[in-house]
Amino acid sequence: MLRERPGMPARYLFSTVLDVRVGDTGFGGGLPARSLTAFIDEARLRFLKHYHYNEHDIEGLGLVTVDSRVVYRAGAFHGDYLQIEVSVGNFNRFGCDFFYLVSNRDTAVVVAEACCSAVFFDYQQGKTVSVPASFRETFIKDV
């Protein structure tokens, strides 16, 4: 069954390239879901670092992924370079969505589209908290 696109944005704010290593591939030689998830996580960390944040300190709060939706479009294999474009949007009181467009850098073939929902978490209080205003404003103006 073909899944619909997870509401992808028209524009991305950040791009990074990761190479598919032999340890990233599965038995059949392709990039399995576990590895694609790790690539997406790495792209998010690089995206946040680009904006001077990290998942454990965004205005003193943590960022916790609560949902992920991935739609594969094509295979990726050892030696491929994957360009991962990242954006953020769909802000609500407690979080937002991170969007990923994963393409083969050399052929421009789309490998996958993903959307991961995240919430802000105060580890000292042990609870979900509102999105920091400065974080929201950084990306509302850039989108």
Both tokens of 112, joined, read 């996958």
pLDDT in tens, 72-92: 999 999 999 999 999 999 999
2 falls in which pLDDT band (50, 70, 90)? very low
Secondary-structure breakdown of the chain: helix, strand, coil percentages, each rounded to the nearest 5: 20, 40, 40
Write down the pTM of the prediction. 0.92
At residue 7 the predicted structure's pLDDT band, cuts being 50, 70 and 90, is confident
The Cα 75–Cα 110 span in angstroms is 9
Given this model, what pLDDT does residue 142 score? 52
State the residue for tokens 């576990």. Answer: 34
For the domain covering 14-142, report its CATH number.
3.10.129.10
Contacts of residue 54, defined as CB under 8 A and 6 or more positions apart, other chains included, come to: 45, 48
- Higher per-residue confidence, 142 vs 62: 62
pLDDT digits (tens, 9 = 90+) for 22-32: 999 998 899 99
3-state secondary structure of 142: helix
